[in-house]
Amino acid sequence: MLVWASRKFHVEIDPKMEAILELLPGANCGACGYAGCVAAAERIAKRELSPNVCTSASFASIKSIGEIMGVSVEEKEKEVPITLCNGGVNCISIFRYDGVEDCRAAMLISEMEKACSYGCIGHGSCVKACPFDALSINEDGLPVVDEYACRGCGLCVDACPKGILVMAKLSEVYVLCSSQDKGKYVKEICEFGCIGCGICVKACPSEAITLTNNLAVIDQERCNGCGICVEKCPRNAIGGVR
């Protein structure tokens, strides 16, 4: 009966799918939008997903998957998470939280642990979400990324209840602040918050920076990465991944 059942219910496995699965990292992080690497491999083999859908695999593996599928794959510039907040311990706290070290848990008590309601509260929900141990909380109480360990899955971005983690290319420059409060108040509560002074707007030679809701915003399409805004910002509120 067992022999009969094994023959009756035998399912043929696509050899392409098996070969692709061998090249995927096996992290099952779900960043591709599917439950795990098996599901992703099946859909790549069926041409329902691009060979480079996995952000966790090395380019060598992605290139090999492309060869299996008979398509060429171009290497993308690596993206890692960046924290759009430069406050941390440099931002005034309204109260001291003493509980489970998790941002969502802390926000159940109050969303205003920091005087800045837009800033990072630093309890590490993003750190716990990373399957590659690529994030840690530094001495300033802010998440920092190990760009070599990071696989760009973006799970930390999804885990941040404040929405201040974004995926950024290593060459890009960002305003490291998310506050939409007026400059006078930001100056009072945070040492490095953007006060909307507009110095960066005037200094930018490519006109890539605008002020929106009291906050400087950089248009990455227009930015040429010259770094003049980084030098001119009186609040040290502009920087990049590195």
> What are the pLDDT digits (tens) for 55-70?
888 889 999 999 999 9
Q: Which fold has domain 79-240?
A: Alpha-Beta Plaits (3.30.70)
Rounded CA gap, 6 and 12, in Å? 12
Rounded CA gap, 201 and 164, in Å? 22
Q: What pLDDT, on a 0 to 100 scale, did the predictor assign at position 233? A: 96
Cβ atoms of 232 and 200 within 8 Å: the answer is yes
Q: What pLDDT, on a 0 to 100 scale, did the predictor assign at position 12? A: 57
Q: For the chain, which residues make up each domain, given as ranges?
A: 12-69, 79-240
Q: What pLDDT, on a 0 to 100 scale, did the predictor assign at position 56? A: 84
Question: Is the pLDDT score of 5 beyond 60?
Answer: no
Rg (CA), the chain: 22
Chain centroid to CA 215: 21
Rounded CA gap, 240 and 104, in Å? 26
Q: What pLDDT, on a 0 to 100 scale, did the predictor assign at position 13? A: 66
Q: Is residue 168 within a helix (H) or strand (E), and if so which, with residue range?
A: strand 165-169
Q: What pLDDT, on a 0 to 100 scale, did the predictor assign at position 26? A: 84
How does pLDDT run across 195-233, given as a tens digit for each residue? 999 999 999 999 999 999 999 999 999 999 999 999 999
Backbone dihedral region for residue 222 (phi beyond 0: left; psi -120 to 50: alpha; all else: beta): alpha
Q: How is 28-95 classified by DSSP, letter by letter?
A: ---TTSSSSHHHHHHHHHTTSS-TT--SSS-HHHHHHHHHHHT---PPPPPEEEEES---GGGB-BSS
Cβ atoms of 122 and 143 within 8 Å: the answer is yes
Q: What pLDDT, on a 0 to 100 scale, did the predictor assign at position 10? A: 44
Instruction: Name the CATH code of domain 12-69 (choices 1.10.1040.10, 1.20.210.10, 1.10.15.40, 1.10.10.10).
Output: 1.10.15.40
Q: Is 105 helix (H, G, I), strand (E, B) or coil?
A: helix
CA angle, corner 132, sides to 127 and 135, nearest 5?
35
How does pLDDT run across 11-42, given as a tens digit for each residue? 556 788 899 889 888 888 888 888 888 888 89
Residues counted in the chain: 242
Closest to 157 (Cα-Cα) out of 126, 178, 127: 126
